[in-house]
């Protein structure tokens, strides 16, 4: 996300210990498409060919006898077939001795042309601004994105998280086999499904029982069945984050969530302040109201910022050392006032990703649970107690104007 945004390019050069770790890394990557060993780069083809000689002669001599092929990639640009052949043939100077083989190439060479991502300019008029020669190592995990596409999922709602972003979130949460990951606002279960895709066992809860139970056999669990992930589904239960039954022990490897956004959605928690509800309520016929099967517990408005603080508190209390909290939040509230990134002494921010829309944007925050010995004991936990006030509007007073 941020990478392509700041670099204005779909390419990124990284330094890794080995080609083996490059392949492993990419197999988990959702946002990249492939990874190549860099053999050379330059602004012109002459510069590229020189760079390949000076940088990679030794590597290439190892590959010289392998069956090989060339591919030209001109993403966002166009080349005629004749021009393509001309470009590829200009690499004859490498004197590769192996067979040319489209099917069984062991040396898979790619010429990558980097065109401007400026979509306002017409395609064909622009020349590539940079060129790379790479040896293809492996493709990414991106091919699973359409597998989890919400359009093909049997049980979704208007707030289900897009499959690509849910998979990215699961990556940032370090979901792997053996781990246990929790979503306190599980809704239709998009995050737990994505974490289970990477092999983690998952548990979720939501204040709205209907979202978990679904209807007509379509529910959170049936989504796991649809993808053959039942064995990784621990449970879902109905609960309010501010009155959670979960034990405050260090038993979770990760927490992933997209909390309800205060003002517009009318964020609610348990506990109506009405005086007549402060003692056990009896129905007209004398039965106890809350013991009836159709009982709906009364709720009250709550502040979004207090909810974010509650999430950080539970993450600090329940994550193991190095466990991750991944949380989505809007960048600004409905009045366009920027929301501060919440902080906790036991949690260190490891990344902030921004997704921009036309009129608003949201952030994906990732925190790392610090081992207790690394926590700054002098840091004061600043809680935003906003408990008086009746409506969500009154409770959500924001301090900083967005710039």
Partner 1 sequence: MKLLTLNFLTCARKACKTSAASFPLHPREAELEQVELDMNPQFIRNVLPRVEWEAMRSISQELGLPSLPDTAPGPEELADAEGGPTQILKDLHTLLMETTIASGKLLCANCGHEYAIKEGIANFLLPSHLV
Tokens of 320: 């193991």
| Among residues 126, 239, 331, 355, the one that binds partner 1 under rule CB under 8 A | 239
Q: Give the CA angle between residues 28, 40, 62 to the nearest 5°.
A: 85
By CB under 6 A, tell whether 268 contacts ligand SAM: yes
Q: Which is nearer to ligand SAM, 211 or 396 (CB)?
A: 211
Smallest gap from residue 283 Cβ to partner 1 (A): 13
Smallest gap from residue 221 Cβ to partner 1 (A): 8
The candidate with the shortest Cα–Cα distance to 278, out of 292, 290, 266, 287, is 290
Report the alpha-carbon distance of residue 151 to residue 162 in Å, rounded.
10
By CB under 6 A, tell whether 163 contacts ligand SAM: no
Report the alpha-carbon distance of residue 30 to residue 140 in Å, rounded.
7
Report the alpha-carbon distance of residue 37 to residue 320 in Å, rounded.
36
Distances (CA, A) of 195 to 28, 147, 151, 168, 176: 12, 14, 19, 10, 8
What H or E segment, with its residue span, contains residue 187?
Answer: none
Smallest gap from residue 336 Cβ to ligand SAM (A): 20
**Sole window of 9-17, 262-270, 283-291, 388-396 interacting with ligand SAM (rule: CB under 6 A):** 262-270
| Among residues 89, 97, 235, 336, the one that binds partner 1 under rule CB under 8 A | 235
Smallest gap from residue 277 Cβ to partner 1 (A): 4
Tokens of 72: 């030209």
The DSSP result for 74-91, as a single string, is: -TT----HHHHHHHHHGG
Distances (CA, A) of 161 to 66, 168, 183, 213: 45, 11, 12, 18
**Sole window of 26-34, 62-70, 233-241, 332-340 interacting with partner 1 (rule: CB under 8 A):** 233-241
Give residue 187's region: left, alpha or beta (phi > 0; psi -120 to 50).
Answer: left
By CB under 8 A, tell whether 234 contacts partner 1: yes
Say which DSSP state 141 is in: G
CB 201 within 8 A of CB 234: yes
By CB under 8 A, tell whether 177 contacts partner 1: yes
Q: Which is nearer to partner 1, 146 or 217 (CB)?
A: 217
Smallest gap from residue 299 Cβ to ligand SAM (A): 8
The candidate with the shortest Cα–Cα distance to 224, out of 259, 258, 255, 183, is 183
| Among residues 21, 59, 99, 157, the one that binds ligand SAM under rule CB under 6 A | 157
Cα distance between the two ends of the chain: 22
By CB under 8 A, tell whether 391 contacts partner 1: no
Say which DSSP state 199 is in: T
| Among residues 90, 116, 126, 159, the one that binds ligand SAM under rule CB under 6 A | 159
Q: Which residues contact 203 (CB under 8 A, 6 or more apart)?
A: 180, 181, 182, 183, 192, 234, 235, 236
CB 91 within 8 A of CB 132: no
Question: Which of partner 1, ligand SAM, none is residue 160 near (CB under 5 to 8 Å by kind)?
Answer: ligand SAM
**Mask of contacts with partner 1, 187-226, x by CB under 8 A?**
--------------x-x-x-x-x--xx-------------
Tokens of 214: 């679904």
| Among residues 144, 269, 349, 375, the one that binds ligand SAM under rule CB under 6 A | 269
Smallest gap from residue 178 Cβ to ligand SAM (A): 23
Smallest gap from residue 374 Cβ to partner 1 (A): 21
Smallest gap from residue 334 Cβ to ligand SAM (A): 15
**Mask of contacts with ligand SAM, 175-214, x by CB under 6 A?**
---------xx-xx-xx--------------xxx--x---
Q: Helix or strand or coil: residue 369?
A: strand
Smallest gap from residue 274 Cβ to partner 1 (A): 7
Smallest gap from residue 36 Cβ to partner 1 (A): 32
Report the alpha-carbon distance of residue 282 to residue 289 in Å, rounded.
5
By CB under 6 A, tell whether 258 contacts ligand SAM: yes
Residues that bind partner 1 (CB under 8 A): 177-180, 201, 203, 205, 207, 209, 212-213, 230-232, 234-240, 243-251, 253, 270-274, 277-281, 289-290, 293, 295, 297-298
Residues that bind ligand SAM (CB under 6 A): 157, 159-161, 184-185, 187-188, 190-191, 206-208, 211, 240-242, 258, 260, 267-269
């Amino acid at each position: 996300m941020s990478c392509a945004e700041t670099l204005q390019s779909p390419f990124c050069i990284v330094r890794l210990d080995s080609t083996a770790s490059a392949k492993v890394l990419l197999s988990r990557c959702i946002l990249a498409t492939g990874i190549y060993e860099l053999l050379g780069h330059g602004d012109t083809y002459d510069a590229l060919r020189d760079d390949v000689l000076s940088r990679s002669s030794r590597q290439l001599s190892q590959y010289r006898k392998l069956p090989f092929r060339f591919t030209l990639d001109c993403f966002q640009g166009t080349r005629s077939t004749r021009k393509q052949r001309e470009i590829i043939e200009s690499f004859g100077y490498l004197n590769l001795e192996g067979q040319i083989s489209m099917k069984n190439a062991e040396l898979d060479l790619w010429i990558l042309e980097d065109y401007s991502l400026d979509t306002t300019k017409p395609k064909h008029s622009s020349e590539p601004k940079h060129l790379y020669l790479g040896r293809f190592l492996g493709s990414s995990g991106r091919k699973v994105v359409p597998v989890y596409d919400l359009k093909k999922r049997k049980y979704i709602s208007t707030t289900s998280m897009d499959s690509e972003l849910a998979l990215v979130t699961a990556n940032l949460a370090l979901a792997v086999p053996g781990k246990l990951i929790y979503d306190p606002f599980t809704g239709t279960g998009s995050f737990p499904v994505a974490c289970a895709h990477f092999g983690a066992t998952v548990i979720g809860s939501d204040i709205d029982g209907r979202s978990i139970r679904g209807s007509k056999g379509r529910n959170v669990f049936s989504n796991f069945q649809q993808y053959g992930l039942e064995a990784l589904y621990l449970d879902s239960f109905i609960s309010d984050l501010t009155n959670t039954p979960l034990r405050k022990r260090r038993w979770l490897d990760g927490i992933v969530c997209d909390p309800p956004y205060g003002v517009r959605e009318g964020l609610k928690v348990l506990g109506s302040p009405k005086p007549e509800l402060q003692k056990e309520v009896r129905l007209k016929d004398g039965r106890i109201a809350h013991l009836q099967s159709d009982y709906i517990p009364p709720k009250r408005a709550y502040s979004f910022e207090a909810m974010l603080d509650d999430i950080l508190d539970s993450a600090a209390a329940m994550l193991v050392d190095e466990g991750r909290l991944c949380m989505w939040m809007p960048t600004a509230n409905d009045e366009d006032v920027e929301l501060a990134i919440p902080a906790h002494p036991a949690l260190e921010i490891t990344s902030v990703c921004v997704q921009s829309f036309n009129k608003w944007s949201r952030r994906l925050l990732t925190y790392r649970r610090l081992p207790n010995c690394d926590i700054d004991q002098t840091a004061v936990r600043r809680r935003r107690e906003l408990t008086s006030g009746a409506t969500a509007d009154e409770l959500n007073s924001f301090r900083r104007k967005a710039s």
